[in-house]
Amino acid sequence: MQKFSVDDRGYYGDFGGAYIPEILYGCVTELQRKYLEIMESKSFQKEFHALLRDYVGRPSPLYHSGQLSERYGCKIYLKREDLNHTGAHKINNTIGQILIAQRMGKTRIIAETGAGQHGVATATVCALMQMPCTVYMGKTDVERQAPNVKKMEMLGATVVPVTSGNMTLKDATNEAIRDWCSHPEDTYYIIGSTIGPHPYPDMVARLQSVIGKEIKAQLMEKEGRDYPDYLIACVGGGSNAGGTIYDFIDNKKVKIVLAEAGGKGINSGYSAATIQLGTVGVLHGCKTLLMQTEDGQITEPYSISAGLDYPGIGPVHAFLASVKRAQVLAINDDEAIDAAFELTRKDGIIPALESAHALAALGKIDFKPSDVVVLTLSGRGDKDMETYINVRMG
Ligand SMILES: *Cc1c(COP(=O)(O)O)cnc(C)c1O
């Protein structure tokens, strides 16, 4: 049987690994040695699950949408990560990582953020745990995402605008790694998706796997079987998708569909469809598919959704796509917007633009009436109101 989980060296097939500067070797190998033991310990499990329940509001509901089911000719459930505290799945990861940081004796947290959502989720748990927090953010993004910058500051974090390169996420990531290199002893770097050097991709997928574990139990209750025919999720770096599929990956009866951001079209030059357009390279400490020029310069990705315009993709997803365990669909901006309005009008749920990419995938799949489909609604649309208003209601 094909193995889909990470190997001892941190690889999924040819993707993954830990490509780090020498000075980080000590703290990254320490994390590699300790993360499983910490995550499996009683004290971690107890504190993590208590916070997920009482602070985040888990379990998140598995909602059967009668209207979407009728429209697409199958049985559709939405996994409501939009109902979590701070409005998306990202908080599952940041709570888990700050508990790991504490158990490793770290006293200071750093993070990078693009759209600001991971920065807010990190600043939130740092306030909760009373730990100092520095968030690196490209200056362009600081200007584009003012409300999230204000939230982080209100939560007590220091937001550092990064002025190198294009002044976006990749540059913020470089700056965070530079900070980490200067303070490897006391600083823990909370990475926001299933990316980064091993063990981050596996660690983040495991922390987010609470999504899939709840789906299992909820399907058992509602359908009398603990797996769906389809799992659908959007992919930026791949954490909500990674957590959704984690416990189903070896079950071949479960089809996996990943929706990436096609932007204005995958051949338009304005796209973030990394799996379809990317080539192999190293970014953010791991080997994966990247949007890059022939000589290895990272090209700026584009999507209407700020949370999906990452130039790389989690190594696990690059692998699952390469061995055809996952089907990857590129969803264009206008398809995502249509899907967001459809869910809003049919179910009274305004989804995040990222999640709308997963919703738009529904129209591209040939379902049978008996198919049970679970789609992870990764976040709520409050943060995207300006975009919705500008493109459709202005
Ligand atoms: C950040 C974000 C994403 C993309 O990140 P992944 O790591 O791919 O899950 C998707 N949806 C929402 C709501 C987000 O905030």
12 in a domain, yes or no?
no
pTM: 0.98
Answer whether 208 contacts ligand 1 (Cβ < 6 A): no
121 in a domain, yes or no?
yes
Cβ neighbours around 15 below 10 Å, total: 24
The tokens of 105 are what?
A: 């004796």
Q: Are residues 182 and 45 in the same domain?
A: yes
Main-chain phi, psi angles of 84, to 5 degrees:
-65, 155
DSSP assignment string, 255-281: EEEEEEEEET-TTTT--B-HHHH-EEE
CA distance 204 to 270: 29
CA of 93 to the centre of ligand 1 (A): 11
pLDDT tens over the chain, length 394 residues:
678 999 999 999 999 999 999 999 999 999 999 999 999 999 999 999 999 999 999 999 999 999 999 999 999 999 999 999 999 999 999 999 999 999 999 999 999 999 899 999 999 999 999 999 999 999 999 998 899 999 999 999 999 999 998 888 889 999 999 999 999 999 999 999 999 999 999 999 999 999 999 999 999 999 999 999 999 999 999 999 999 999 999 999 999 999 999 999 999 999 999 999 999 999 999 999 999 999 988 898 999 988 888 899 999 999 999 999 999 999 999 999 999 999 999 999 999 999 999 999 999 999 999 999 999 999 999 999 999 999 987 7
- Environment class of 394 (CB within 10 Å of its CB; exposed 0-12, middle 13-18, buried 19+): exposed
DSSP 392: I
CA distance 53 to 250: 28
Q: Which domain holds residue 129?
A: 21-50+90-203
Whether residue 378 lies in the annotated active site: yes
CA of 115 to the centre of ligand 1 (A): 10
342 in a domain, yes or no?
yes
Question: Shortest CA distance to 31 belongs to which of 184, 166, 150?
Answer: 184
- Catalytic residue (choose from 81, 112, 175, 260): 112
The tokens of 64 are what?
A: 């059967």
Answer whether 304 contacts ligand 1 (Cβ < 6 A): no
Q: Are residues 68 and 157 in the same domain?
A: no
Q: Are residues 173 and 249 in the same domain?
A: no
Beta bridge partners of 161: 137
The last residue of a domain, from among 178, 203, 228: 203
CA-nearest residue, atom 7 of ligand 1? 239
User: For the chain, what is the domain count?
Assistant: 2
- Catalytic residue (choose from 60, 65, 79, 90): 90
Q: Are residues 198 and 214 in the same domain?
A: no
